[in-house]
Amino acid sequence: MLKINQLHKSYPIGDSSLHVLKGIDLHVESGEMVAIMGSSGSGKSTLLNIIGMLDEADSGEYTLDNVEIKNLTEKKAAVYRNKFLGFIFQSFNLINYKNALENVALPLYYQGLNRKQRQEKGKFHLEKVGLLEWAEHLPSELSGGQKQRVAIARALAADPKLLLADEPTGALDTKTSYEIMEFLQQLNDEGKTLLIVTHEEDIAEMCKRVVRLRDGIIMEDKKVEQVRASQYV
């Protein structure tokens, strides 16, 4: 599914440069639920951005679903993002002047689907996150948990191979966090592949595999016994 070999990335800071990723090797199989952990500055967000094709590595190989991701133009990156990836952000990043349904349907617009198909698919995914009756509401009328669920529906809408979540529970209280995690676990049960960046141990324990980063290298990569979020909800 996802293969990363010897990935390096550094950012120029003035005259010198900051080496953020120092040779990352990561293989993720289809259907896995991986937590990427690490303190701030460990390079976990950079790794996620490179996987998300929002950023490009300096060297190393990156293959996603047997497609080599290399020398991307902005346009190609956009097409791949749309086709392969679903993003879930810490701050939800819903478009504030579009209602829930329009937000969910937005990736479908860029896929070139017609209006009717978008409405149908959008409603389907909104129902999946249990917010169909909130379809006409603007993000400002939704709670944090609801916003994140709309964002998850949006990430699912384009039927991506891989869901990337950057601190999906970072802006939520514990109870809501667990609800979101429960939902993400359900998605994983249905066969979705998830990569979740977090710094919270309890969230990481709800995944099936934990990858710990420190100073740009993988310190630890182990399978864990998944804690079901449903028991806390």
Partner 1 sequence: MIRFLFDRDTWQEVWDSLSKNKLRSILTMVGVWWGILLLIGLLGSAKGIENSFNRLFGDFATNSVFIWGQSTSKPFKGFQEGKRVRLSLSDAKRVEENVEGIEFVVPRNQSQGFVSRNMLSGNYSIAGDYPLLDFVQKKKLIHGRFINQNDIDDNKKVAVISEDIYKQIFEKDEAAVGELIEINGMNFSVIGIFEEGNVNMGPSSDIHIPFSTFQQIYNQGEEIGWMMITGRPEFDIKQIEADAKLLLKNMNKIHPDDKRAFGSFNLGDAFGRMTGFLKGMQFLTWFVGIATLIAGVFAIGGILLITVKERTKEIGVRRALGATPFEIKRQIVVEAVFITIIAGLGGIISGGWILILLDKSFGQGDEAVLVNASVTISVVFIALTILVVLGTLIGLIPAFKATSIKPIEALREE
Which residues of the chain form contacts with partner 1 (CB under 8 A)? 49, 52, 54-55, 74-75, 78-79, 81-83, 87, 89, 91, 93-95, 97-98, 102, 106-107, 109-111, 115, 154, 158
**Which CB, 37 or 151, lies closer to partner 1?**
151
Q: Nearest-CA neighbor of 228 among 197, 189, 185, 188? A: 185
Give min distance, CB of 155 to partner 1, in A: 9
- Residue among 230, 221, 182, 160 at smallest CA distance from 168: 182
The least CB distance from residue 230 to partner 1, in Å, is 30
Q: Tokens for 180?
A: 């979101």
CB of 106 to partner 1, least distance (A): 6
| Nearer residue to partner 1 within complex by CB, 86 or 206 | 86
Q: Which residues, 6+ apart, have CB-to-CB distance to 231 below 8 Å?
A: none
Phi and psi at 179, nearest 5°, equal -60, -45
The H-or-E segment that residue 152 falls in is: helix 144-157
122 vs 185, beta carbon nearer partner 1: 122
33 or 88: whose CB is closer to partner 1?
88
Distance of closest approach, residue 202 Cβ to partner 1, in angstroms: 26
CB atoms closer than 10 angstroms to residue 208: 16
Look at residues 144, 168, 143, 145 and name the one whose alpha carbon lies nearest to residue 155. Answer: 168
CB of 222 to partner 1, least distance (A): 29
Nearer to partner 1, 128 or 154 (CB): 154
In this structure, is the dihedral angle defined by the CA atoms of residues 17, 23, 28 and 32, taken in order, positive or negative? negative
Q: Which is nearer to partner 1, 74 or 190 (CB)?
A: 74
Q: Which residues of 77-98 are buried (b: 16+ CB within 10 A; e: fewer)?
A: beebbbbbbbbbbbebebeeee
Which one, 132 or 138, has the nearer CB to partner 1? Answer: 138
Q: State the Cα–Cα distance between residues 77 and 42, nearest whole angstrom.
A: 25
What is the smallest separation between the CB atom of 154 and partner 1, expressed in angstroms? 7
Dihedral sign for Cα 52, 151, 33, 44, please. Answer: positive
CB of 102 to partner 1, least distance (A): 8
